[in-house]
Structure 1
Amino acid sequence: MEPQSRPGQMLDGKVTGVVILGGAHGTLALARSLGVLNVPVWLVSTDTPLPGLSRHVRKKFDWPGPDDASAIPFLLDLAATHGLAGALLIPGGDGEVRLVSQSVHALQPAFKVMLPAWDQLKWMCEKPLLYRRATDLSVEIPPTYRFASTDEAYRAPIRFPVVLKPNMGGGPSELARAKVIRADDHAGFDPVFGSAALEIGIDNIVVQELIPGGGTQQFSYAALWHAGRPVAEFTARRARQYPVDFGYTSTFVEVVERPDAAQAARKLLASIDFEGLVEIEFKLDPRDGALRLLDVNPRPWSWFGLASAAGLDLGAMVWEIANGRAPAPPSPARLGTAWMYLVRDMVSAAILISRGKLGIGAYLRSFASVRAWATFAAGDPVPGLMDIPVTAWRVLTRRVLRLPSRSAESVAARNQPER
């Protein structure tokens, strides 16, 4: 008789499933990429339910979340109880990235992890460290302010407008939920900075000059790295975003050539011997023509689906590497291929059209290049159909009514093994 394995366990050294922690549209795209290969995919999340509605996700588990003290014991118990031991563990959100990277050694007996340990990865995730490393490597960054106290910040001769960002994404704070807050003068800056300082501490707030211009000046490097080098990589332009001046999320992204972004990204990633999926954001400063580093996302990003649409199936490549196989050398990404988040892009386009920065004809023509959508897929329609009602419900409950999240006890109760 042939040896049998439970779902998620290794058989002859092969990983037989993937567990994705958190995330939204990038997680959905990754699940689809793996699902079409018949790879078993499980989702553990307290984030948007959309990825869990995909037919490619075998089961969704609720959990206390990456900031809960019981997160690691929960995952280890999940692996043992539900037969997921040996699965590849991929964090899909910022908080999940920190948790997995900080707990690599605790998780590795139960899961396979393709992510550097925190002593390496923190140089990409914690913005003060990231900007220090970038400066050492001669990678340009936006002018950035550091303050020792709120009084110093209130008196500082800041060159407005500025943006306030958390040291690292994820977490329940107001600044983390907003991701970026703009301030045009001290009247707008002081209360936001003071509130954030009380909530998360001054050292966890990043204040930067806002680089002029919208999404058309924002570029990204997207890649899969293994053994200290890129397995596949491409660059893209965030042609439209929401909000239109500094994006909370991308709404229309297209593949472009940007060698300077790739060169800067390779310097950063090689400096920590990076491993895994990554997207690095830059913005072109029209004042001096410098391409400045904004952020690093070592996880599936919102427009992750653009990769496979452009001919680079990063999800399939991750799966090959996890199982010890070398992916076939990829062809260059197809230039001009685009991804769209339709609902939000319509809002962004309407604002740009009203400002005279986008013509109706140009907007309609942009649809011709779209080969990937944030939620819609012909062979997996439910997430696309549920996108609008789910988004409306989340906005109502979390931002308008501010209802409390479910307790860890009720989450654990729902995840008891099936009998």
Structure 2
Amino acid sequence: MGPEKRPGQMPQGNVTGVVILGGAHGTLALARSLGARNVPVWLVSTDTPLPGLSRRIRHKFDWPGPDDPNAISFLLDLAEGHGLAGALLIPGGDGEVRLVSQSIEALSPAYKVMLPAWDQLKFVCEKPLLYRRATELDVDIPPTYRFASTEEASRTAIRFPVVLKPNMGGGNSELARAKVIRADDRAAFDPVFERAAAEIGLENVVVQELIPGGGEGQFSYAALWHDGRPVAEFTARRARQYPVDFGYTSTFVDVVDQPRAVEAARKLLASIRHEGLVEIEFKCDQRDDALRLLDINPRPWSWFGLASAAGLDLGAMIWDIANGRAPASSGPPRIGTSWMYLVRDMVSATVLIARGKLGIGAYLRSFGCVRAWATFAADDPLPGLLDIPVTAWRVLTRRVLRLKPRTGRRQAGRDMPER
């Protein structure tokens, strides 16, 4: 950042605490990282209640959600009514990222923000723009289809299987809730594409060839950037995922050395002069050994807790930077350190063992490398204790019964009820 103030630059002065908007396991891990340094943390969310159960959260508030037209007014009123002015505002979900990045100037009287303004950030958040930017920078992407109409989509020769993804995460459409839908043939593709196009708009549906292979070929770059450069970075591998064939979420992640991911990520993030947390997903295509870009998440990600376990406490670092201090230097990440989402990893491991792709001994040995858990922490036990019933309830209501999450419309300062 130069001496002149520009959108995305934080005003000077000490930070009073951190307000996190939405999110799930990544938000919980970030709150624990900050809370361990006695940083006041407030949660504003209509997402999973697990982060709000943490003893590291000082207070939690319900709100109308990032898509509500009064969302910015709510956040400004919250800061004024609860003495949160000057807090660092960190979005924990995709919709929250868009809201904050698009509204930096409106939020700046009350909050500090570590995100690029939307005219920069959209080039990595909106998938058509992301894939265009990646192509310009010689970063490999999966073969991607663009259609001018549903009729063109039904006539075009497609190499199946393919996946359908929303232009950007967030929202309550069928495709947004699923994150990714797989289609193995024309009979499966046409009705799914037509429904998605009708629900969120043709231009917002991304269709890509499915890269073969499971989570063992999926890698991530995770980092904290400041002033257009990485402060700390490492790469990890999604060794197991849930569901097994096409993961909705990671279940077992370990730190590995993947220099090609680092090289590609630096190109993309430098092109927007990134600021803040980020995770970038890649998959190695076994057909030609290309490492192909899948997605970018400029927010805390599900296995965020792996960072501090591997020796890179990104939560502590972002707090130091927000307060104008140089973050403590850290050594290289500890290769082999692992993170596990125990509840769902047990399901994934059972499927892999039944298919002969994972030995029982290898599964049991993988516990020896786990240094971070999705919900469990000895000094903060409640989220871990309630993870099973909360997860079961969310699966039942959102994936079996297909109920949309409730969006609160309470006044600033009213507590979020337990769900």
| Separation of aligned partners in 2, 1:90 and 1:124 | 18
| Separation of aligned partners in 2, 1:12 and 1:272 | 23
Mapping 1:242-391, distance limit 5 Å: 242-391=242-391
SS at match of 1:414: coil
Q: Which residue of 2 aligns with 1:87?
A: 87
Following TM superposition, by how much is the alpha carbon of 1:349 offset from its aligned partner in structure 2, in angstroms? 0.7
Matched length:
407
Indicate yes or no: 2:28 matched with 1:28: yes
| Separation of aligned partners in 1, 2:346 and 2:411 | 36
Q: Which residue type is aligned with residue 106 of structure 2?
A: A
| Separation of aligned partners in 2, 1:327 and 1:110 | 24
Q: TM-score, normalised by structure 1?
A: 0.95
Q: Which residue of 2 aligns with 1:3?
A: none
Q: Which residue of 2 aligns with 1:50?
A: 50
| Separation of aligned partners in 2, 1:407 and 1:288 | 45
Q: Which residue of 1 aligns with 2:163?
A: 163
Identity over aligned pairs, percent: 81
| Separation of aligned partners in 1, 2:68 and 2:12 | 35
Following TM superposition, by how much is the alpha carbon of 1:411 offset from its aligned partner in structure 2, in angstroms? 5.9
Q: Deviations over 1:106-150 (max 9, x none)?
A: 001100000000000000000000000000000000000000000
| Separation of aligned partners in 2, 1:277 and 1:404 | 29
Following TM superposition, by how much is the alpha carbon of 1:393 offset from its aligned partner in structure 2, in angstroms? 1.8
| Separation of aligned partners in 2, 1:252 and 1:313 | 19
| Separation of aligned partners in 1, 2:11 and 2:139 | 44
Following TM superposition, by how much is the alpha carbon of 1:246 offset from its aligned partner in structure 2, in angstroms? 2.1
Following TM superposition, by how much is the alpha carbon of 1:238 offset from its aligned partner in structure 2, in angstroms? 0.4
Indicate yes or no: 2:100 matched with 1:100: yes
Q: Which residue of 2 aligns with 1:129?
A: 129
CA distance 1:252–1:120, change in 2 (3 Å): same
Following TM superposition, by how much is the alpha carbon of 1:402 offset from its aligned partner in structure 2, in angstroms? 4.4
CA distance 1:300–1:155, change in 2 (3 Å): same
- The question of whether the paired residues in 1 share the 8 Å contact of 2:224 and 2:318 is answered with yes
CA distance 1:346–1:320, change in 2 (3 Å): same
Following TM superposition, by how much is the alpha carbon of 1:399 offset from its aligned partner in structure 2, in angstroms? 3.4
Following TM superposition, by how much is the alpha carbon of 1:155 offset from its aligned partner in structure 2, in angstroms? 1.2
CA distance 1:150–1:12, change in 2 (3 Å): closer
SS at match of 2:386: helix
| Separation of aligned partners in 2, 1:139 and 1:407 | 38
Q: Deviations over 1:283-309 (max 9, x none)?
A: 000000100000000000000000000
Following TM superposition, by how much is the alpha carbon of 1:407 offset from its aligned partner in structure 2, in angstroms? 5.5
| Separation of aligned partners in 1, 2:309 and 2:233 | 14
Q: Which residue of 2 aligns with 1:119?
A: 119
Q: Which residue of 1 aligns with 2:7?
A: none
- The question of whether the paired residues in 1 share the 8 Å contact of 2:41 and 2:58 is answered with yes
CA distance 1:72–1:371, change in 2 (3 Å): same
* Structure 2: runs of 5+ lacking an equivalent: 1-9
| Separation of aligned partners in 2, 1:82 and 1:403 | 33
- The question of whether the paired residues in 1 share the 8 Å contact of 2:255 and 2:338 is answered with yes
SS at match of 2:122: helix
Following TM superposition, by how much is the alpha carbon of 1:396 offset from its aligned partner in structure 2, in angstroms? 2.7
Following TM superposition, by how much is the alpha carbon of 1:414 offset from its aligned partner in structure 2, in angstroms? 2.9
Q: Which residue of 1 aligns with 2:62?
A: 62
Mapping 1:4-43, distance limit 5 Å: 13-43=13-43
| Separation of aligned partners in 1, 2:323 and 2:355 | 51
CA distance 1:302–1:413, change in 2 (3 Å): closer
Following TM superposition, by how much is the alpha carbon of 1:410 offset from its aligned partner in structure 2, in angstroms? 4.2
| Separation of aligned partners in 1, 2:367 and 2:191 | 41
SS at match of 2:253: strand
Q: Which residue of 1 aligns with 2:240?
A: 240
CA distance 1:34–1:146, change in 2 (3 Å): same
Q: Which residue of 1 aligns with 2:204?
A: 204
Indicate yes or no: 2:194 matched with 1:194: yes
- The question of whether the paired residues in 1 share the 8 Å contact of 2:240 and 2:348 is answered with yes
Mapping 1:131-146, distance limit 5 Å: 131-146=131-146
| Separation of aligned partners in 1, 2:19 and 2:210 | 37
SS at match of 1:116: coil
- The question of whether the paired residues in 1 share the 8 Å contact of 2:63 and 2:407 is answered with no
| Separation of aligned partners in 1, 2:374 and 2:407 | 30
Indicate yes or no: 2:71 matched with 1:71: yes
Following TM superposition, by how much is the alpha carbon of 1:406 offset from its aligned partner in structure 2, in angstroms? 4.2
- The question of whether the paired residues in 1 share the 8 Å contact of 2:78 and 2:413 is answered with no
- The question of whether the paired residues in 1 share the 8 Å contact of 2:62 and 2:410 is answered with no
SS at match of 1:345: helix
Following TM superposition, by how much is the alpha carbon of 1:205 offset from its aligned partner in structure 2, in angstroms? 0.4
Following TM superposition, by how much is the alpha carbon of 1:408 offset from its aligned partner in structure 2, in angstroms? 4.2
CA-based RMSD of the aligned residues comes to 1.6
Following TM superposition, by how much is the alpha carbon of 1:403 offset from its aligned partner in structure 2, in angstroms? 4.6
| Separation of aligned partners in 1, 2:252 and 2:404 | 33
Structure with the larger RCO, 1 or 2 (CA within 8 Å, 6+ apart): 2
Q: Return 234-243 or 399-408, whichever deviates more.
A: 399-408
